[in-house]
Amino acid sequence: MKRRRAFSGIQPTGNLHIGNYLGAIRQWVALQVEFESIFCVVDLHAITVPQDPRVLKGKIRETAGILFASGIDPKTVFVQSHICAHAELAWILNCNIPMGWLNRMTQFKEKSQRQRERVMAGLFDYPALMAADILLYETDIVPVGEDQKQHVELARDVAQVFNATYGLTFKIPEPLIPEAGARIMGLDDPGKKMSKSEDRPGHAIYLLDPPDAIRAKIMHATTDSLRDVRFEESRPGIYNLLVIYEAFSGLSRPDIEARFEGRGYADFKRELAEVVIAGLNPLQSRYQEVTADPAFLDSQLAEGGNRVRPLAEKALRLAKERMGLG
Ligand code: TYM
């Protein structure tokens, strides 16, 4: 029987953090067993906001290295700009997505506020490219963190409208959001999602942070003036730290609350830091190994692209034919 297919992507910008790991990468690793998987380093999405060309190239390799070190099969990873079909299908979908749909995207609203007068058309159109990524590969499921759900829903909507208008062309994908860790918040501001584009020192735990940096960031994380360690959403700082503990330890909420009964925040934070350090240790020790030979890593990414290109080209050909192009 043909295995169902999982597809997802990650931007090679900033530093990958534990939100990316718990919301996405860790479940990608687990899903590989059951699903035929394809993972994309989305450099064309990265340029929707200004990037330094010298930095971007290195970040693409760093991102791929982190995926490989986490346990993703290198054969299943490719770079988005290596496959022209992504940009071409994005244009076609552009012509099938009403502006009103894009206007409703909450991520655009947030990101465009940050860019102010330099908001490029590509940032507005970002979900069309993401829909193209997903629809080129007959994707069944799209494992993502909570913040990407709205974009996956837009991909479903455009696929449905396209199929209804031009005849069956695209498979309709489903988002898959993890139970624990789908929305990790900033350590310094638990009202805001942990994000690669925030560069305040205490905001995020990066996947390549050394143990001492992890300890310092967790000890300084914003909490409140209470002291009991309990899962209460009305106390966002301690709640976020508990969610991180839950996701890394695999323990249940009642077990965690029982463990820290009467022990206070400082004690909890110290233990949390050790759980995070231990959770990231296998990834960190493999990272040096998988990135030691940049030419080899490049050849793995080129091969990854060669493996999936025929799938993408086939889907693009069908979409063009359906629309009467060429
Ligand atoms: P990106 O690069 O912002 O994030 C990569 C993945 O990490 C998840 N994530 C989080 N999960 C939990 N808590 C957080 N604080 C957190 N921050 C990020 C994201 O939900 C995502 O799953 N547009 C996408 C990349 C993309 C894509 C695709 C994804 C492009 N094409 C096709 C799926 C399918 C993005 O910018 O992710």
Check residue 283 and give its pLDDT: 97
Copy the structure tokens of residue 273.
């830091």
Residues 21 and 139 in one domain: yes
232 and 132 assigned to the same domain: no
Q: Residue 198: inside a domain, yes or no?
A: no
> Which pLDDT does position 113 carry in this prediction?
84
Active site residue 111: yes
Please list the alpha-helical segments (H only) found in the chain.
Answer: 18-20, 26-31, 43-46, 53-70, 85-94, 99-103, 106-115, 121-135, 149-166, 211-219, 236-249, 253-259, 264-291, 294-323
Which two three-digit tokens encode residue 195?
A: 């994000």
Is residue 187 a part of any domain in this protein?
A: no
Q: Catalytic pick from 2, 149, 196, 320?
A: 196
Binning pLDDT at 50, 70 and 90, where does residue 56 land? very high
Pair (157, 227) in one structural domain: no
Q: Are residues 128 and 170 in the same domain?
A: yes
Whether the CB-CB separation of 304 and 77 falls below 8 Å is answered with yes
For residue 47, give the CATH number of its domain.
3.40.50.620
pLDDT tens, position by position, 127-157: 999 999 999 999 999 999 999 999 999 999 9
Q: Is residue 191 included in any domain, yes or no? A: no
**pLDDT over 90 (residue 1):** no
Does 192 participate in catalysis according to the annotation? no
> Which atom of ligand 1 lies at the shortest distance from residue 148's CA?
20
5-10 vs 36-41, strand pairing mode: parallel
Q: What is the pLDDT of residue 112?
A: 86
Residue 39 shares a structural domain with residue 17: yes
Residue 192 belongs to some domain of the structure: no
Q: Per-residue pLDDT averaged across 317-325, rounded? A: 98
Neighbours of 212 (CB within 10 A): 10
- Residue 84 belongs to some domain of the structure: yes
DSSP 164-192: HHH-S-----EEE--SSSSSPBPSS-TTS
Regarding whether 162 and 222 lie in a shared domain, the answer is no
Identify the DSSP state of 315: H
pLDDT tens column, 154-198: 999 999 999 999 999 999 999 999 988 899 999 999 999 999 988
**Angstrom distance (rounded) from CA 189 to CA 319:** 44
Residue 183 belongs to some domain of the structure: no
Q: Which two tokens stand for residue 299?
A: 């050849």
pLDDT in tens, 82-102: 999 999 999 999 999 999 999
From the CA of 126, give the closest atom in ligand 1: 23
Antiparallel, parallel or unpaired: β 77-79 and 174-176: unpaired
Query: Using CA atoms, how far apart are residues 34 and 7, in angstroms rounded to an integer?
Result: 13
116 vs 288: which has the higher pLDDT: 288
Mean pLDDT of the chain: 96
99 in the same domain as 14: yes
* CA-wise closest residue to 111 among 28, 196, 206: 196
Calculate the CA dihedral of residues 266, 271, 277, 281 and round it to 10 degrees: 170
Question: Looking at the 3D structure of the chain, how many domains does it have?
Answer: 2
Residue 196 lies in a domain: no
Domain residues for 215? 211-288
Q: Are 136 and 91 in contact (CB under 8 A)?
A: no
Taking residues 22-36, what's their average pLDDT?
97
> Any residues with Cβ below 6 Å from ligand 1, and which?
7-11, 19-20, 22-24, 42, 45, 130, 133-134, 142, 144-145, 147-148, 151, 182-184, 193-194
Distance CA 244, CA 221 (A): 12
